[in-house]
Amino acid sequence: MLTFIGLGLFDKTDVSEKGLVRIRNADRVYLECYTSRLMGATREELEEYYGRPVTPLYRSDVEQDPGAMLDEAAEKDVVFLCAGDPMVSTTHADLRMRAAERGIRTAIIHAASIASAVCGLSGLQNYRFGKSCSLPFPQKNWFPTTPLDVILTNLSQRLHTLVYLDIQDERYMTVPEAVALLEEMAAARKAKIPLYVGIARAGSGEPVVRAGPEELVRACDFGPPLHILIVPAELHDMEREYLEMFAGL
């Protein structure tokens, strides 16, 4: 059996009791380390908490060559851990489908996701979010502008945009870096993004939430990762009041 278990947002204690029991009873424990990460716990701390060895998985292990893990799941009780909620990532949905095609039983144990946590932290209403997007670090001769297309489409429909920020090995995109990239894209298109909401360390005891125009948000010190960005559409009165009270708007 292959069980997908969400670990929540920040540290080892965010996992559900149901998930923890399944982890401690598993034959093999894998930890997906590339779509998101628990910044409040190391792999060694997780191993100590679970009482089980934890094998890290990276993009190629999951997307290109998951065969060895699926072979194990066909014979043993295997758990696949990830930060947040398992099925927010299409990569994980694809892996579950691959398992099902091989006749391997699967299950999901859900946990808190950044997709819902941002609503509580920002006060932006969840039904007003449109399509989300990911913002990658530019590479040599590669500067994708798809995120701006998504944002402008959502803004035209009065919908908020959740922007996932890139993770590369030990490099984590910050809110100010993300805003700078989007402003560069917008300037080239002669477009205007009126407001940003930056969030850092959701799920921790001291998350940082700041809202404002580009120059204000770029000047903020959001501290350590993980960071995430929202581009709000025109605000409802309650949304604006919430951001004024809790995000310094």
pLDDT confidence of residue 61: 84
Q: Assign 174 a pLDDT band (cuts: 50, 70, 90).
A: very high
Q: Assign 40 a pLDDT band (cuts: 50, 70, 90).
A: very high
pLDDT per residue as tens digits for the range 198-241: 999 999 999 999 999 999 999 999 999 999 999 999 999 999 99
Beta strands in the chain, from DSSP E residues, in sequence order:
2-6, 28-32, 55-57, 78-82, 106-109, 133-135, 161-165, 167-168, 171-172, 196-200, 208-212, 227-231
Spatial contact of 249 and 196, defined as CB atoms under 8 Å apart: no
The contacts of residue 187 (CB under 8 Å, 6+ apart) are none
How many C-beta neighbours within 10 Å does residue 150 have?
A: 20
Spatial contact of 43 and 122, defined as CB atoms under 8 Å apart: no
pLDDT per residue as tens digits for the range 49-96: 999 999 999 888 888 888 899 999 999 999 999 999 998 888 899 999
Residue among 61, 66, 113 nearest 87 (CA): 113
pLDDT confidence of residue 128: 97
pLDDT per residue as tens digits for the range 111-159: 999 999 999 999 999 999 999 999 999 988 888 899 999 999 999 999 9
Rounded mean pLDDT of 30-44? 93
The contacts of residue 133 (CB under 8 Å, 6+ apart) are 146, 147, 150, 151, 161, 162, 163, 164
Residue with tokens 């716990």: 41
Spatial contact of 145 and 124, defined as CB atoms under 8 Å apart: no
Cα dihedral 73→78→84→90 (10° resolution):
0
